[in-house]
Structure 1
């Protein structure tokens, strides 16, 4: 039997409320904009690019090995990958027979998400094992508008800081070496051949490296894909890192976001390049800690469930 630990109702309700307040700080403005038909080029991204929706993110999960009882616990018995404790399990955590208590159902989760767990482990461990590269300067965003008169529909309402010709010149004057497929796949046709690497879904596990902003943003993706096996606090730690990385990524982009409150990091200049690398290194250090926490939480899920 898996080791289970009872979390008192008062304790888990406090954690649940704290989590929901943390999520609403980001989700409520996004939902208000969506209702009003407005867009934000930076602050909508985590809710539109990634598949986790605000309502899903609001649900608090304690993670594996935690028992919840008291008000609200019964409702979770219908949540996916939760199970209700039997009398033996209730006795083991000091609860009387007949109490409604729930916990993460590791067996059903592993049966349902085995491939996702395995792939996440490959990406997390492989990325951590490679040396970090800090010479991309965010040029993936510039390559996404290279020789393009009309921007991608996501950003058609924005202006280019240097205009089209100036933007194209930055792309042509710099070495382009993006290692992340989910950035590379948005390159314009004329930019694809300028990238020194050819990232693909097939070689993703060989190319992802810990200096990459997008690989570090994707820690949020791997975290929410592993819910409810992970505590929601860890997921939000990844979310908030991803949020800050997105802001810096767009500051270094070719778009003029000054009026949105995001002054540019002018990577076309030596000073801008230095500032970009400084931010990139700091984010890589933060991401390394979170990547380690995710890998540690993932390890028990990759083991066969006890009979």
Structure 2
């Protein structure tokens, strides 16, 4: 077939003729993301320079069950109202220009709750992830937690959202589902032990950096601001490694009553604190 195909040659160029210039390759257009909807009050986020914003805000969303009980509702209705508060706070984080927002969604200890409540929480998570409320926003969604104990369809949805939003560069939203801080540290220690047993790591020379590289999400930055709602003042096994030097912020309101303005107030309070990270204060107060 090749021998029967006539061969056509390009026209010859005279000596010294310039080489043809190839057409420039246009870069692919970046996807156009919409802006988050404005707050119903019209209130805008405080004008805080990007250099003064926390890089990573982590939130313990406490009070869903109490919110429902105060209204004579089943506890799962509190979780449904809490999901609406999540969307509101994500919109506020985008408006403010935060880069990382991590939410304590379902802990390893939450499995001990009433089976009906656990099923309701997992069903609500499945619906929220499937509805994909942030599809048109510049949000990279991630899942942090144990693999293997969640329902397969929910785990598949979480992994799908992570894959399909990986290229987004605005807000990284990490949902901690079946997550526990001690479990994370234990699994990291096991990974280091396997490396040491294989002769790839000297146990006497393991550093903080070695440990951080073996965490399930080694690229997760340290938490700058850890915020808990619900009038409780404890960290509840949430991101202990990343929160070693986090500023703590506790508020009395229950999570379903939270909106983006509460996030803005928490960040504003953070900017008024002096973060020394163990170093001496540049302007020590007189004794």
Structure in which a larger fraction of residues adopt strand: 2
Q: For the superposition of Structure 1 and Structure 2, which TM-score range results when normalised by the shorter chain? A: under 0.3
TM-score normalized with structure 2 length: 0.25
TM-score normalized with structure 1 length: 0.24
Please identify the structure whose Cα radius of gyration is greater: 2
Structure in which a larger fraction of residues adopt helix: 1
Structure with more relative contact order (C-alpha pairs < 8 Å, separation 6 or more):
2
